[in-house]
Structure 1
Amino acid sequence: IAIFKAGGAYLPLDTRAPISRQAQILAQSQSKWLLITSDFDDTSSQVCAALSDDAQLHVLRLDELITAGASQENLTASDSTEDVGARLAYVIYTSGSTGLPKGAMVEQRGMMNHMLAKIRDLRLTADDVIAQTAPQSFDISVWQFFSALILGGVVHIFPDQVAADPLGLLQETAAQEITILEVVPSLLRMMLDELSEGAPVDLHKLRWMIPTGEALPPNLARQWLHFCPQIPLVNAYGPTECSDDVTHYFVTEPPAASVVNMPIGRPLMNMRMYILDAHQQPAPIGVAGELYVGGIGVGRGYIHDPERTAQAFVPDLFSTDPQARLYKTGDKARYLPDGNIEYLGRLDYQVKIRGFRIELGEIEAVLEQHPAVYQAIVMDQADPTGNKRLVAYVAPADDESESRLTTSRLRAFLSEKLPDYMTPSIFITLAQMPLTPNGKVDRKALPAPTAATWGAQNEYVAPQNELQAQL
């Protein structure tokens, strides 16, 4: 709040990240001030030591500033005629495909529009108690913290160890009478595990459960509404580059068994969503294309990175404002006849193996329909001969289910629903999927098949020509 009052912007650093990454972010962003408490003296010293000699970074210890006293001279309203909405509000770094993090810049107007949309759509009031489950380096922390302050409500900040503990999170949600809770689907899965095992928690005050950050599997929605039918889900979708969420989809009834992908809903107020084909033209209803985001929430781009900004932020040819831009999400989606948008996965999760174009998300969705499968991730990996093959990672629904997750059974199950060329060559069973610090599935941490694993399972050879494919 003080930074906003001064007309500045903030960049949160994840102190759990490696020192080299923290230093890389400070250097790339050309930050001038590092605000810390004395608890992080050692960390900040290591980060500063990792910076180049020409870095002009000044370290300020907040607890020392507080004890030293402060002047009230700067507390009066500013007479500036500057467009406050156009000011930079914050910079949050996301991972980049090249291995270099990208600092997404979000303006005040985008940040405020998202918070006001949350207040309107969730019907938030001063009586609400909003859980802050995300670290400051995760974009959902912004609305979790500030929305309650706008309303005069309460924000309850969960310690990291509680926010990452499914049972502890449920217990604290009940004890603090939380009304709004937002988590990633991976954590929601583990919370449902606790509920299924009879965790003694009373969630009668909880009004909304908001899964975000990953695609919401339909079976997860069904499970939640089975245990908590009175608490609707809000399937929220949005990239950091566009001020966080840009769509909401309200789930009050368990999705039908035929639903493979949960819709992500409709645009928030003052936002626009386009699904465009390869020629930048709107795709017909029901036809898949790339999802583009327009409107007030589209950010400035990536800080000090004009090349990657130009790649992801393109002119908005559908707007009358010549300065308007669209954000190119890299996500595949389609409009449904009812006006909702269906998320179909990442475009970069589309692979080509032996000439066949394959959507990895489709295989994952079908695998998760198997009663013994709790969660599934499919990736393409090179075998010892260098050929690309599909590898499926599956987590069992319970201890008894693990014995049912044999290669032959899973292949037989998939053969009833998918073409043969979409059947993985390798199935690896994991007790649970590895997660990133933000609670999302960490695909990079999935174990690669060993040479013995490649040889232990029967090799599947895809059709080599059109005749074989037809046969």
Structure 2
Amino acid sequence: MSGCSSGDVCSQEQRRRCCISHVFFNSATLNSDEIAAIHVAPSRGRSGDGGDGVFWSKNPRKFIRSGQVHRTADSSSSGSSSCCGPPVYEGDECFTFGDVLKAVDSLASLLRSILDADDPYLILSQSSFSVKSNYSKQRTSSRSKSAVSFIPSVKQLAESDNVYKPKILGLYMPPSVEYIVSVLSVLRCGEAFLPLDPLWPKDRILSVVSSANVDLIVTFEPSFYDVEKSGWLVEFGSCPVLSLSMKEIMEGCSSPLQLYWPCEKEQKRLFCYVLYTSGSTGEPKGVCGTEQGLLNRFMWMQELYPMHEGEILLFKTSISFIDHLQEFLGAMLGACTLVIPPFNELRKDPFSIVNFLQAYSINRLIAVPSLMRVILPTLKIQSNIGIGCSLKFLVLSGEDFPLSLWDELSSLLPRTSILNLYGSTEVSGDCTYFDCKMLPTILDTEALTSVPIGVPISNCDVLLVGENDTSKTGEIYVGGLCVSIGYIEASPTPLDYIKMCKNYSCNCCEDDCGSQVYYRTGDFARRLPGGDLVFLGRKDRTIKVHGQRVALEEIENIIRAHPDVIDAAVISHEDSGELSFLTAFLVLRHNNLSGNLVRSSVRSWLSSKVPLAMIPNRFVLIESLPMSSSGKVDYAFLASSTFFTLHVQDDIDGAKHSDNLEMIKKVYYYLLKGHFVHFVCLNIFIILLAPIYSNT
């Protein structure tokens, strides 16, 4: 039910770590009147640029506690002399932990009633409207045909009596308080959530919903964010849609929540979320992540680098990227304040992140190295020096962290602790860490080009599996609490997971030899004498672009479906070993087609089907793809300097002025338009674009 009495078997200390719902309940109850989240008002509601590059008034009003459900700061609010709360500006909307807890209880209760029986709030899609009377039976029978694909040992566990497969609820909304409430509500009622990024093309969203056999899609009416309404999901989707407003949820629950805690159920939930990543098979893969993996990652951070009440964090990561989970869970479970920038502003203007860091005195930031490289020139501006005083932790993950970038960041932010984390969606986001304060000592004896990815976090095991037992280099295998249970698809058991001994050279077949499930990452690393790992690269054709995992095979498959293309191959290459670029080689169905028209058509085709990170930077037209002796596409030859000299240069010269010059002109015009009228920034921007322009 809603809690345990003093006579219950589980003690308060045991409950503290038993599930995310309990940890949040304890955090929210103890800090009921503190600010949990601030929805930043759109820029049109702020005062103008004060000349220092920040688009807020210089004297922010502090939050004043009140008995309201939540409050919006306005010009009539009297300022507070208290310095204990985070800065709040005109138009910002604040939610206390008590507000969020109440909303979670309300929505969890509503979801439970909907999933257990028909409910008047439910909006059925057109394709399922006619079978409303036998909806429950139909969904149950269809789910049995879509089993989760596991390695044998985990599959046996899934079929045992002490676990259950949860229902999957799609969450169609951007980073917001509504999204946070939705995630916590789904976890509270014992089911699993599936983030549906509004930035995804509609075809991809519908494909993911169908593949995961989603039971219900939850969406909120846009309030502080500008996103397309969910009506199209009702029209084209294959499952029911629940559309709500935050006001309805806040007013919907007045009595105590009558639900068992997920950790108190006799059967344990097999997974608590599904997150889709780009698949090496050419199709997106739905990773089934566990609650113990998420909670273990949070507890590890709290033990080594604890978040304290009153710290301010920024929620700016797309919900399609695994790192967004720790971004908001850290704040909600650690009793910190989460600042949520306007959805579209941050997407359209990544430089604006610097404004949010300074205006709200952000203490912790999670980012990919490429983002920090982009905003680095802006951080160097004298007016932004205050960020170095407020930013306590900078956590970088998602891609290789070049040593040159660390050198600049450490000089610019000497008071900031910088962590480099490594992981993937299959291992709950992170499985190793490196504290950069140790880097100078390592550099005394090691010649490195990138920051090490470090050692395993708590309750995780990392092996390097090489060709021989004495090798210090090998593929990264990850085991422990962080490992997901598999992919939610009906395909055969994936080769990504394997059961083996920690001493992988052991040939023992006994069950009691300490064997466990490991995830084969496809990444290679070498171990330094001190035990830290250094990332070397990938073994397959799955890469990271701006922190997002991209499978080149998936891009190829989508391009091949274009009516003017008969075949395609996509390769990645790096500029100065730091920035990844994608090149697509196209074999056209008809040779008399205009090259510029085809490029534009294929680019538009991709933009409607895949995220921006998966669209190649350039498209090269060739008569045929080079083949190896085995009859496969010779990707090594495609990427060779010989092939580029013979086939690519002329094509690039012809396309430069039509594609890339136009892109540079648009971005330059956007900067001049009013967001960054600073000639130093503009000159740096031109210098940064020069190698991109010359290579495309």
TM-score (norm 2): 0.49
By how many angstroms is 1:185 displaced?
Answer: 1.2
Q: Name the residue aligned to 2:24.
A: none
Q: Name the residue aligned to 1:168.
A: 352
Q: Name the residue aligned to 2:342.
A: 159
Matched, 1:47 2:250: no
Q: Name the residue aligned to 2:533.
A: 341
By how many angstroms is 1:224 displaced?
Answer: 0.7
Q: Which moved more, 1:442-451 or 1:292-301?
A: 442-451
What is the correspondence of 1:63-74 to structure 2 with a 5 Å cutoff? 63=246, 65-66=248-249, 69-70=252-253, 72=255, 74=257
Which structure shows the higher helix fraction? Answer: 2
Question: Which of these residues, 330, 334, 337, is aligned with residue 147 of structure 1?
Answer: 330
By how many angstroms is 1:323 displaced?
Answer: 8.1
**Matches of 1:20 and 1:157, distance apart in 2:** 28
Q: Name the residue aligned to 1:447.
A: 618
Q: Name the residue aligned to 1:180.
A: 364
Indicate how the Cα distance of structure 1 residues 172 and 83 shifts in structure 2: closer, same or farther if over 3 A, else same.
farther
Identify unmatched segments of 5+ residues in structure 1.
352-359, 369-374, 385-435, 458-471
Count of matched residue pairs: 381
Identity over the aligned pairs, expressed in percent? 23
SS at match of 1:66: helix
SS at match of 1:339: coil
**Matches of 1:33 and 1:160, distance apart in 2:** 24
Matched, 1:243 2:428: yes
Code of the residue aligned with 2:398 in structure 1: it is G
Q: Which has the higher contact order (CA 8 A, sep 6+)?
A: 2
**Matches of 2:526 and 2:583, distance apart in 1:** 25
Q: Which moved more, 1:314-323 or 1:87-96?
A: 314-323
Indicate how the Cα distance of structure 1 residues 148 and 200 shifts in structure 2: closer, same or farther if over 3 A, else same.
closer
SS at match of 2:391: coil
- Contact 1:167–1:199 under 8 Å retained in 2: no
Q: Name the residue aligned to 1:263.
A: 452
Indicate how the Cα distance of structure 1 residues 93 and 377 shifts in structure 2: closer, same or farther if over 3 A, else same.
closer
Q: Which moved more, 1:151-160 or 1:234-243?
A: 151-160
Question: Which of these residues, 352, 364, 377, is aligned with residue 580 of structure 2?
Answer: 377
Code of the residue aligned with 2:460 in structure 1: it is M
- Contact 1:313–1:327 under 8 Å retained in 2: yes
Matched, 1:272 2:461: yes
**Matches of 1:35 and 1:26, distance apart in 2:** 12
Q: Name the residue aligned to 1:202.
A: 386
- Contact 1:264–1:341 under 8 Å retained in 2: yes
Question: Which of these residues, 191, 203, 206, is aligned with residue 375 of structure 2?
Answer: 191
SS at match of 1:445: coil
Code of the residue aligned with 2:528 in structure 1: it is L
Cα deviation, 1:428-467, whole Å, max 9, x if unaligned, reads xxxxxxxx9xxx993642113467852489xxxxxxxxxx
Question: Which of these residues, 501, 506, 517, is aligned with residue 317 of structure 1?
Answer: 501
By how many angstroms is 1:229 displaced?
Answer: 1.9
Question: Which of these residues, 243, 266, 273, is aligned with residue 90 of structure 1?
Answer: 273
Indicate how the Cα distance of structure 1 residues 149 and 60 shifts in structure 2: closer, same or farther if over 3 A, else same.
same
**Matches of 1:176 and 1:45, distance apart in 2:** 35
Indicate how the Cα distance of structure 1 residues 350 and 147 shifts in structure 2: closer, same or farther if over 3 A, else same.
closer
By how many angstroms is 1:85 displaced?
Answer: 6.7
Indicate how the Cα distance of structure 1 residues 72 and 180 shifts in structure 2: closer, same or farther if over 3 A, else same.
same
Q: Which moved more, 1:32-41 or 1:340-349?
A: 32-41
Code of the residue aligned with 2:363 in structure 1: it is T
Indicate how the Cα distance of structure 1 residues 217 and 84 shifts in structure 2: closer, same or farther if over 3 A, else same.
farther
How much is the aligned-residue C-alpha RMSD, in angstroms?
Answer: 3.5
By how many angstroms is 1:382 displaced?
Answer: 5.9
**Matches of 2:398 and 2:271, distance apart in 1:** 23
TM-score (norm 1): 0.71
**Matches of 1:78 and 1:98, distance apart in 2:** 38
SS at match of 1:260: coil
**Matches of 1:264 and 1:134, distance apart in 2:** 21
**Matches of 1:443 and 1:74, distance apart in 2:** 43
- Contact 1:135–1:160 under 8 Å retained in 2: no
SS at match of 1:311: coil
**Matches of 2:415 and 2:228, distance apart in 1:** 48
- Contact 1:291–1:331 under 8 Å retained in 2: yes
**Matches of 2:288 and 2:206, distance apart in 1:** 19
Indicate how the Cα distance of structure 1 residues 263 and 67 shifts in structure 2: closer, same or farther if over 3 A, else same.
closer
Q: Name the residue aligned to 1:399.
A: none
Code of the residue aligned with 1:92 in structure 2: it is L
Question: Which of these residues, 292, 301, 307, is aligned with residue 486 of structure 2?
Answer: 301
- Contact 1:276–1:283 under 8 Å retained in 2: no
Cα deviation, 1:264-322, whole Å, max 9, x if unaligned, reads 011000001011125xx65622x2x2111100110111113443x52212113338588
Q: Name the residue aligned to 2:203.
A: 20
**Matches of 1:195 and 1:87, distance apart in 2:** 44
Indicate how the Cα distance of structure 1 residues 84 and 445 shifts in structure 2: closer, same or farther if over 3 A, else same.
farther
**Matches of 2:519 and 2:314, distance apart in 1:** 29
Code of the residue aligned with 2:236 in structure 1: it is A
- Contact 1:166–1:194 under 8 Å retained in 2: no
Identify unmatched segments of 5+ residues in structure 2.
1-183, 504-511, 544-570, 588-606, 623-646, 653-696
Structure of larger gyration radius: 2
Indicate how the Cα distance of structure 1 residues 377 and 146 shifts in structure 2: closer, same or farther if over 3 A, else same.
closer
Q: Name the residue aligned to 1:354.
A: none
Q: Name the residue aligned to 1:284.
A: 471
SS at match of 2:324: helix
- Contact 2:581–2:617 under 8 Å retained in 1: no
Code of the residue aligned with 2:424 in structure 1: it is P
Indicate how the Cα distance of structure 1 residues 130 and 295 shifts in structure 2: closer, same or farther if over 3 A, else same.
same
Indicate how the Cα distance of structure 1 residues 50 and 238 shifts in structure 2: closer, same or farther if over 3 A, else same.
same
SS at match of 1:24: helix
Indicate how the Cα distance of structure 1 residues 210 and 78 shifts in structure 2: closer, same or farther if over 3 A, else same.
closer
- Contact 2:586–2:621 under 8 Å retained in 1: no
Cα deviation, 1:57-103, whole Å, max 9, x if unaligned, reads 34343548527723636345549753687542211111113332111
